[in-house]
């Protein structure tokens, strides 16, 4: 390599640019070849060699599978970038949807909670306890059924059953095991009751369902408004069996325990109790 550079430097250093090159054969010293070169010849030869090398490289790239391999690598990188962008867009859409759902839930909650009275159409007939007693007289002596269980929804609303405060303490809403307690410091405003999937959970007091729905964090959620400004909230349900506006009594079936929502780490029911907008420790209202 060093000799080649010396040779090229010798050619370009000549003023007239002419150099005589003698090629000797080691096996036959008498046989020799003589060439006359100029710097212009070297430049032309270098250009021709470079062009031929480029043409040869391009031909190999397009004729052989090398081009398809290179193109496949480009396509794979492009596809990975498109997939990553699509995943980010989907995550953003899910976040926007979840926020919209939460805002709608909050709007419905704020619109419903201040008015804890139950609205009844004007054409509903006021329920009379004495008439109900006469209607239920046929049950005496056979099966003992509480009067309010034989009333229709409108009669329950207009009766005095929901006028008084909730009957606490109440039994646990589900047959489960307490796995996490109430802690405002940890932002856990309720208790977690571990139970098997699809275990029934029930209302802890008389009230009306003011909202139901699904959120990305808590899955299926149901809100029950009781009197005295008390509300109970049941989260991570697998299925809800009541709808907004339904009147429920203490012990009525609300839904089935599940593992819904990204904040759920197992099959359980999360119960919250709020009074006048302030979270309460549910254990103060429950008994085993």
* CATH code for position 275: 2.70.70.10
Task: Tally Cβ neighbours within 10 Å of residue 274.
Answer: 19
Task: Please determine, for residue 97, whether its predicted confidence score (pLDDT) is greater than 90.
Answer: no
Q: Is residue 72 part of a domain?
A: no
- Domain of residue 239 covers 166-287
Q: Is residue 263 part of a domain?
A: yes
pLDDT-derived band at 164 (thresholds 50, 70, 90) equals low
Q: What is the pLDDT of residue 127?
A: 40
Q: Is residue 7 part of a domain?
A: yes
Highest mean pLDDT among 60-64, 93-97, 102-106, 223-227: 223-227
Q: Is residue 259 part of a domain?
A: yes
Average pLDDT estimate for 206-228: 93
Task: Please give the angle made by the CA atoms of 42, 45 and 48, to the nearest 5 degrees.
Answer: 150
Query: CA 6 to CA 19: how far, in whole Å?
Result: 13
- The residue out of 40, 63, 86 marking a domain boundary is 63
3-state DSSP assignment of residue 247? strand
- The residue out of 10, 30, 63 marking a domain boundary is 63
Q: Which helix (H) or strand (E) holds 194?
A: strand 191-194
Domain count for the chain, please give it: 2
Highest mean pLDDT among 19-33, 61-75, 107-121, 223-237: 223-237
Q: Is residue 82 part of a domain?
A: no
Q: Is residue 75 part of a domain?
A: no
Radius of gyration of the chain (CA): 43
How would you class 172 by CB atoms within 10 Å of its CB: exposed for 0-12, middle for 13-18, buried for 19 or more? buried
Q: Is residue 127 part of a domain?
A: no
How far is CA 131 from its chain centroid? 54
- The residue out of 46, 63, 80 marking a domain boundary is 63
Q: Is residue 172 part of a domain?
A: yes
Sign of CA dihedral 37, 38, 43, 44: negative
Task: Please determine, for residue 188, whether its predicted confidence score (pLDDT) is greater than 50.
Answer: yes
125-146 pLDDT, tens digit per residue, is 344 444 444 444 333 333 333 4
Task: Please determine, for residue 69, whether its predicted confidence score (pLDDT) is greater than 50.
Answer: yes
């Amino acid at each position: 390599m060093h000799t080649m550079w010396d040779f090229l430097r010798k050619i370009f250093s000549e003023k007239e640019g002419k150099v005589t090159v003698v090629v000797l054969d080691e096996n036959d010293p008498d046989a020799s070849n003589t060439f006359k070169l100029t710097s212009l010849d070297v430049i032309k030869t270098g250009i021709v060699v470079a062009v031929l090398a480029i043409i040869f490289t391009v031909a190999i790239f397009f004729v052989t599978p090398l081009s398809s391999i290179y193109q496949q690598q480009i396509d794979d990188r492009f596809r990975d970038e498109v997939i990553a962008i699509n995943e980010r867009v989907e995550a953003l859409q899910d976040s926007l949807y979840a926020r919209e759902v939460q805002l709608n839930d909050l709007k419905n909650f704020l619109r419903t909670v201040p008015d804890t009275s139950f609205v009844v159409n004007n054409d509903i007939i006021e329920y009379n306890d004495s008439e109900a007693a006469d209607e239920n007289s046929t049950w005496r002596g056979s099966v003992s059924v509480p009067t309010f269980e034989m009333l229709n929804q409108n009669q329950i609303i207009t009766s005095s059953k929901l006028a008084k405060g909730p009957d606490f303490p109440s039994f646990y809403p589900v047959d489960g095991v307490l796995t996490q307690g109430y802690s405002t410091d940890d932002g856990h405003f309720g208790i977690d009751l571990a139970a098997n999937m699809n275990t029934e959970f029930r209302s802890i007091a008389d009230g009306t369902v003011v909202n139901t729905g699904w959120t990305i964090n808590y899955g299926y959620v149901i809100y029950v408004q009781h009197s005295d400004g008390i509300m109970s909230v049941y989260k991570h349900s697998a299925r809800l069996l009541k709808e907004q506006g339904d009147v429920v009594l203490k012990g009525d079936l609300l839904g089935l325990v599940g593992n819904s929502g990204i904040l759920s780490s197992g099959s359980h029911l999360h119960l919250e109790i709020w009074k006048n907008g302030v979270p309460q420790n549910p254990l103060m209202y429950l008994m085993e």
